[in-house]
Structure 1
């Protein structure tokens, strides 16, 4: 019964939000940045997801956030915090329903198999950053089981270039950690029940999350990184995310 009580209001909000966001994007209205934020906040409230934020996004622009990736829930968890854009694999654009929502959020799609497209995607990312929108790059290139951080890839980090006014780009590490469900710590064995990774089917995983609810997640923003080459910056971001994940998943006793 709980999945139905969650899905119906979310579906109604989606049907209302899609035309509103389409108009906002079509006519470049400021609302195009905030409609997704309100939508994601509503989705989290319906799902029963509680988010604890430690630290804060850097105020400097251009800003690229380098994050780990655990679940499809990451999009709503991050999208509910403040206006931002995402970088996603090109396959997402073709997913029924989800692809449309991703395009309306002005997601930048990248085909990781087509090296010739990297320059075009980098230019699109740079243009979005120059417009003042923070962009989230899931630097692992895929999702994990939530217990570890996979190696970060540096290919698209170079798109974080100085702005047209000459302001240097800021890179900021971010750790996403799913820490509890129903008030009970997830632990290493149960955390993959929340994570969506590998060859998991989306529909069964979605229904299980809807049925259980009560998920608690921590977002930990690290210190901004500036003034270094992309490979070094990526390495520093990966190390920072690993450290923040370890702290979130293994908190010290009070």
Structure 2
């Protein structure tokens, strides 16, 4: 099926998921929405997050998307149940990778860096309860991180200072896994690797999401043929140059769109 895979996020962060999808599904076209004008979602009310998710979903459906990846932890935890009930395409969600962290940890202490909207959601708490029995889960709201990533300040002094503030209490508690609970945060991995001891494993959801997308496409007979005319269209409602700086490769078109 030639229709594109739709992906939306509260900005450029979901391109970390987009890259994994493009790598795992090389014959699929994609349509990506970076809702940077409304970033971060993590600071908004559940109702606001739901309305933004509906807006993004309907735009992607109006442009013919056959499946939608909600490439935002906060939107997944607050809106995906509603989206699945009200729209006819499959939805893939993102949630913090508590399960692999719980299986991997030796100290039985896992850190989770996420937005307020994710940490306060019932889905996050249910996932933690289900998979992290006997594990201490240390939650840390990454307040300000999304804004710095959206401003292309990943390697700034301000970023390092914020991360130091967030990481030190978790390190003091002897975590050996750090779960990145926001799709923006994988862009911090080079900085985190510099700042964290070598024995701490950083875990994010990108590859698992791409794998799940492939599985659902196969199951529903929606895979594109190898002869598909490939096109990757990425839209932002803010700064085009910043979105361009996060993506590269052939068949890519990045442009501004009011939505």
The TM-score with structure 1 as length reference comes to: 0.33
